[in-house]
Amino acid sequence: MQLPILQTGAAAWKAGHQAIQRGMFVFQTSAEDMAYADLKRFAVEEARRYVATRYPNAPFTPYERTRLLATFVHAFVNGAFDEVMQAGASD
């Protein structure tokens, strides 16, 4: 089975946007690095949930699973930042 990196990245990007849109994640008024760390922690939980739901019985190796999780976290964080920037541009 080929690793579904593109699908995972696309799903995470959308999930990052939705987390901001729906108020599931709100940036706190704190140091920038703390907000980034908070967002990444949130993204890790979303990544675990996504992989467990989307690929519950996939025969991924530990490396492949880690790669999927990392892809999700990276794309989720960038999707969330993109949503914040788009929302700020329209204000």
Per-residue pLDDT of the chain (91 residues; tens, 9 = 90+): 788 999 999 999 999 999 999 999 887 666 677 888 889 999 999 999 999 999 999 999 999 999 999 999 999 999 999 998 888 777 6
Domain range holding 50?
A: 5-90
> Number of structural domains, the chain?
1
The structure's pTM equals 0.73
- DSSP labels, the chain: ----HHHHHHHHHHHHHHHHHTTSS---SS-HHHHHHHHHHHHHHHHHHHHHHHSTT----HHHHHHHHHHHHHHHHHHHHHHHHHHHHH-
Distance, in Å, from the CA atom of 39 to the CA atom of 55, rounded to the nearest integer, reads 23
